Amino acid sequence: MNILAIETSTKNCSVALYSSQKITQQSQLASREQAQLVLPMIDSLLSQAGIAVSELNAIALSVGPGSFTGLRLGIGVAQGLSLAHNTPVIPISSLAVWAQAAYASAQLEEVAVAVNAHMNEVYLGYYGINKQKVMNKNKPDALIKLDEFITLTNSNNHFIGDVWEAYSDLPEPERRYDCLPDGKALLNIALKNLEAQKVIDDVSINYLRNQDAWKTTEQQINDRRAC
């Protein structure tokens, strides 16, 4: 079984490969350079494992919410590889990948994932570990106003995510852990989904809101100019 994982929803450009019952990973912090990194990373992992793209059994993809540019890059690469070789794609919520990374690095079994959604809004997800050691949703992922989120930061939840980087005056919760989603965390979720046969070919970005509203003002202006 050979599975490739592509995680580009944050500034952490990360790909991982499951092959010969081993996981290898390459990651680099590069918010503006992911387009130059992701394909060489994939080529390197495949070369090290001695397999070709055509030998992949599935591609796991982090589908958002997260960085608009990063997500479009990831989905473009995954769809290109999938169409070229008829390889199935496993779409995974980026919030779930973030939660899985927190479990892998700090054994946090319950977390609240808070991600900057711009426009004074926050993507929020509550996750907990299951018997298969995979982080599952405790409730549906949501898009909430920043003012509402502030009222939640004094709860007993263990918070992770990047919203505090975007809003420096945001109250610091009592329990917060710094981590980023990566390919290995994505791969661990995907392997369990494969066992449960949760694989689809039609993949789209998980915006949690209207696509145009989710873009920054600059991106919307550029889109209109391109028309």
Query: Per residue in 122-141, pLDDT tens?
Result: 999 999 999 999 999 999 99
Say yes or no to pLDDT of 227 above 80.
no
Buried b (16+ CB within 10 A) or exposed e, 156-194: ebbbbbbbbeeeeebeebeebeebbbbbbbbbbbbbebb
- Domain spans, the chain: 2-94+181-196, 95-166
Q: Name the CATH superfamily, with its identifier, for domain 2-94+181-196.
A: ATPase, nucleotide binding domain (3.30.420.40)
Residue with tokens 């990373």: 41
Q: Which residues pair with 161 in a beta bridge?
A: none
Q: What is the pLDDT of residues 169-184, one digit of tens each?
A: 999 999 999 999 999 9
**Pairing status of strand 135-145 against strand 121-129:** antiparallel
Residues 142 and 90: beta-carbon distance below 8 Å:
no
pLDDT at 3 over 90: yes
Rounded Cα gap, residues 82 and 59, in angstroms: 7
95-166 fold: Nucleotidyltransferase; domain 5 (3.30.420)
Q: Please tell me if the domain spanning 2-94+181-196 has the same topology as the one spanning 95-166.
A: yes
Q: What is the mean pLDDT of the chain?
A: 89
Q: The whole model's pTM is what? A: 0.89
